[in-house]
Structure 1
Amino acid sequence: MSGPESPAAPVRPASLGEGARFAVGMLTAIPVRVTRWDREAARVGMLCAPLAGLAVAVPAAGLGGLLLLLGGGPLLAAVATAAVPAALTRGLHLDGLADVADGLGSARPADEALRIMKQSDIGPFGVITLLFTLLAQVAALHALFAEGWWRGALAAVTAGLTARLALTLAARPGVPPARPDGLGAAVAGVVPTGRALLAAAVVTAGCAAAAWACGPWAAARTAAAVLAGLLAAGALLRHCVRRLGGVTGDVFGALAETAATTALLVLALG
């Protein structure tokens, strides 16, 4: 007769470095050495998701600002700024947005909608959604770069941070995965609500502080853009949970693009 089983060894908490590498490796195509893929790494990683946004947005803002300063004009700067995140993620979030549009647009039951989202091709709902989303992003960035390179660059960074912050909030408890596998299952519910809200406060305050150089109105508008992006992504998240039963990797991509686009539109309309 065997003796009592020894208790399982406690899981070592993931370090900030491990979490940051998890976030960049999971949410971008930037080559990093990811050392942990467990739930603990996912918790810290999704909390660090805005850092992945920063890794994508800073090169985008830099290229757009450089082209504007070299005389390329605000339209060229806007197109380049919108293209860099797509390149540095290999279209990951845009593909998710198209898949979610096809799944929700089908008006099919959850299991059939999820099957449609998993297909490799893009349907008419996905194409239309991608087209107007990218047009909206370029149009908003064009208006912002027309006001100066700093306005356009700051908007690009704000949108990138807001996009990934929406993913941090979507990984809080109470948001179930729609499938038992995939990205949704790997990160669903891993970020404590309090820490997610703290991350939201820090990112919002940081974006507003960066805009303070343009005056208090610019700071307030930037904070409003972050909050509007999060609200839009939150509304989409609730709809996806209701229609699909939870989140998937595609849903996370759609949330990121929704948050970024909304933030850019608010900044441009200001």
Structure 2
Amino acid sequence: MLGGLRLALSWLTVLPVPHRDDGPAIDRTSGRRAITSTPLVGLLLGAAAAAVLWIALRASLDPALAGLIAVAALALVTRGMHVDGLADTVDGLGCYGAPDRALEVMRSGGVGPFGAAALLICLGGQALSFGALASGGQWAAIVTAVAAGRVAAVLTCRTTLPAAAPTGFGALVAGTQRASVCAAWSTVLVAGAVFAVPDRWWQGPVVAAAALALALGLTRHCARRFGGVTGDVLGAAIEVSVAVTAVGFLVGG
């Protein structure tokens, strides 16, 4: 597990964490361990986002601006990979043609109108929600929302979804997560979400479960459209789940 966590940190953050001192090249076994450890990375990133928000509010910044800074910090510390994956995935879903054509669009490197709109809506929702949650002192909700995205990454790599291509990041991690692992992390997230909305203990678990259900549906649709899962789909699942969870925690507040 420690080796998987180190690899997950080196893959998913800018932290200079060596994934191994000596050993074989990265393969699907090490990829499986890294994805299994991804929710732990989510907890660290969530705590970092909460810290950035606390500092920004202490500096008397507007909550919306504080939320934008926190989202920017998360994008920086994750090398923008998930944000890029969201844009590429939505552009791929928005194009016509066979799966190969969609994958070609996703690999093109540019951002089309569909991807740009997705970035605006998703990251804007995250920023405004983070700011509102922080101004209300819902620090556990912020950590939970960021962690929810990483649990969604585990679900994206469930055994029922193959890789869309024989090479690339998706080929290393797609189909590596057993149902028991997906269920375990989902249960931990839903249970932990009890503390997300203090005056309505039930709302956090409901929102977390709904966000994971949406991630399941999104990734299943992507796998049908693209012929499997790619690294971009992983990023899209992460960013959408974070946004949906954070917004959901504010409903009724």
**TM-score category (smaller protein):** over 0.9
Counterpart position of 2:65: 76
RMSD between superposed Cα atoms in Å: 1.6
| Distance in 1 between residues matched to 2:87 and 2:73, nearest whole Å | 18
Q: Which runs of 5+ in 2 are unaligned?
A: none
Tell me, yes or no, if the aligned pair for 1:141 and 1:268 is still in contact at 8 Å.
Answer: no
Asked if the contact 1:171/1:188 (under 8 Å) is kept, the reply is: yes
The 1:174/1:89 distance shift into structure 2, 3 A limit, reads: same
Rounded to whole Å, the distance in 2 between the matches of 1:37 and 1:220 is: 41
**3-state SS in 2 of match to 1:33:** coil
Asked if 1:269 corresponds to 2:251, the answer is yes
CA 1:123–1:211: 2 relative to 1, 3 Å: closer
Report how far residue 94 of structure 1 moved: 0.6
TM-score by length of 1: 0.87
Is the radius of gyration larger for structure 1 or structure 2? 1
Q: How does 1:56-67 map to 2 (within 5 A)?
A: 56-67=45-56
Match of 2:7 in 1: 22
TM-aligned CA deviation for residue 42 of structure 1: 1.8
Q: Alignment identity in percent?
A: 36
In the alignment, the residues of structure 2 paired with residue 67 and residue 82 of structure 1 have an alpha-carbon distance, to the nearest angstrom, of 12
* Count of residues paired in the alignment: 248
After superposition, the C-alpha distances for 1:4-47 in whole angstroms (9 at most, x for unaligned) are xxxxxxxxxxxx11010121122222221012622222222111
Deviations 1:68-99 (A, max 9, x none): 13322312221122112111111110100000
Aligned partner of 1:87 among 68, 76, 88:
76
How far is the alpha carbon of 1:189 from its aligned partner? 1.5
Q: 2:230 aligns with which of 234, 238, 248?
A: 248
1: CA distance, partners of 2:229 / 2:93: 13
Separation in structure 1 between the aligned mates of residue 52 and residue 9 of structure 2, nearest angstrom: 20
Distance (whole Å) between structure 2 residues aligned to residue 175 and residue 56 of structure 1:
27
Quick check: 2:141–2:196 contact (8 Å CA) kept in 1? no
Aligned-residue offset at 1:162: 0.4
TM-score (norm 2): 0.92
SS at match of 1:48: helix
Q: Gapped runs of 5+ residues in structure 1?
A: 1-15
Deviations 1:225-247 (A, max 9, x none): 22122112111101101111110
Moved more, 34-43 or 226-235: 34-43
